[in-house]
Amino acid sequence: HEVVVVVPSPSLHLKPKEPHNYTVKEYPMPYTEDHLAKAFQSFFDAHFIEQSFLNMIITMYQRILEASKIFFSNCKSLLKNKDMMQYLREGKFEVVLTDPTQLCGPLIAEHLSIPSVYFLRGFPCGMDSDATQCPSPLSYVPRFLLNNSDKMTFTQRVKNVLVRMLEFVYCEPFFARYEELAAEVFLNKMRTVELLSHGSVWLMRYDFVFEFPRPAMPNMVFIGGINCDQKKNLSQ
């Protein structure tokens, strides 16, 4: 098989001149490498700030909103790049392997009318469960940023419900722009959940050895640890 990796230029990780077992195709985006490095460092640093739960929610929301603007600009640059899109259409690719949290991969797969395989750790606001029609009862499955287990008290379940209600509010700005972009590309309105539901296989980068058990659908494959380094055997 021939593997083609489409990356923005600049990129913090993939460089086209490095030796690879795959082809790297670049497209320009309106950010410098220094700007990207500072933006993502700020996002990572926000996870280690000691603060109240409410302030943590606000800080994380601001950082994620800033990162999502970069991801959206990245995606728009790709979809507006006529040469790259023509190359992808003429390439007759068989599948798109992508992290769907940025939504650009699912948009490309939809545009090319080919299957998509998702490679992810999780999806904001529980949209992975919504898109796959996977049961996710609030009395059992803890929401994002809550330190609940799969066994919750009544108070914890109430908090779980409240966070779920808030997700409808703070997740909308992240995905509304992609829905508008999808309408521009496909000439018809498409909701985020509908777009994600077209994913053929969901490769989930976690394992129930470390996670609380939760319902899963047949096309969810758990591959936790696949991105870990290979460790050397102990001497004794």
Mean pLDDT of the residues in the chain: 84
pTM: 0.83
Length of the chain: 236
Give dist(CA 100, CA 123) in Å, integer.
Answer: 8
Mean pLDDT, range 29-34, rounded to an integer: 82
How far is the C-alpha of 206 from the C-alpha of 128, rounded, in Å?
A: 14
CA distances from 218 to 133, 206, 222 (A): 11, 16, 11
Residues 37-58 pLDDT 10s: 888 788 777 777 787 777 877 8
Domain ranges of the chain: 4-222
Tell me if 201 sits within 8 A of 221, measured CB to CB: yes
Q: What percent of the chain clears pLDDT 70, i.e. is strictly above it?
A: 94
The pLDDT tens digits for 45-99 are 777 778 777 787 788 778 878 888 888 888 999 998 999 999 999 999 999 999 9
